[in-house]
Structure 1
Amino acid sequence: MPVHDQLGWRYHWPEHGDWKLSAGATLLVRDANVRLSQGTTSADDPDLGVVPLLSFQARRTLAQRWALEFDVEGLGAPQGRAIDAAVAVTYQLSRQLDGRLGYRTLEGGADNDSVYTFAWAHYGLLGLSYRF
């Protein structure tokens, strides 16, 4: 099962009307081991690496408690790509609590001398955000 950790930085521009924008970079440290087995035959191709990603986030207030958010991290290279994007509608439940409903997609993979693998996942997004 792939394991990854991230370290990122984002610059937040001053709010402009109904818009909040930020952009930055992330280092994704991931363990993408490819393992196959059938009967008594098996193959294992360990792959630990650091993947640089660019990030961008936009939030637009739609009404007093409603907002639309777009968030993407990704980058491509001849060896492969990684994209994590989401769009969500948020509702401010209280001063510190927001609810979120949306869509998220993860896409990426590698194409090099030892492996060709890509995946694309789509799913719904439901969440709560609490501000301290």
Structure 2
Amino acid sequence: MASPIDKVAWILVRSGKLLSSRNHGIDIFYMPGGRRERGESDLDTLLREVKEELTVDIATDTVQHIGTFTAQAHAQPEGVLCVMACYSADYTGELAASSEIAEIAWLGYADRDRVSGVDREVMEHLHAHGLLG
């Protein structure tokens, strides 16, 4: 069995909508974040990926673990799982899509068919806790 894909993601909710992004050439949205590089902590990965994708800096003193979610990895063979540690945090700077990001969007619970399986699990969690409309 293949090793799970190890990811870290940023949960940013405003007015009942979740910040998501879509890379060029991909038809689904993901929460900002990405794969951990060798030797990186969750915080290191979160800071690097958010800066690379959205050009903002995470305020490290506000980072809170929301949960770790698991689902079938998108566009991978059956049985390849994605395990994603999710954190909320404040930020400084202005959200802007970097060159690797085709589009950023604020998605509600009704948009859960537009995201990856693991992001859908996060959306279910946020909706159950009254955070996602």
The two structures have a TM-score, normalised by structure 2, of: 0.23
Q: Which has the higher contact order (CA 8 A, sep 6+)?
A: 2
Counting helix residues as a fraction of each chain, which structure ranks higher? Answer: 2
Structure number with greater Rg is 1
- Normalising by structure 1, report the TM-score: 0.23
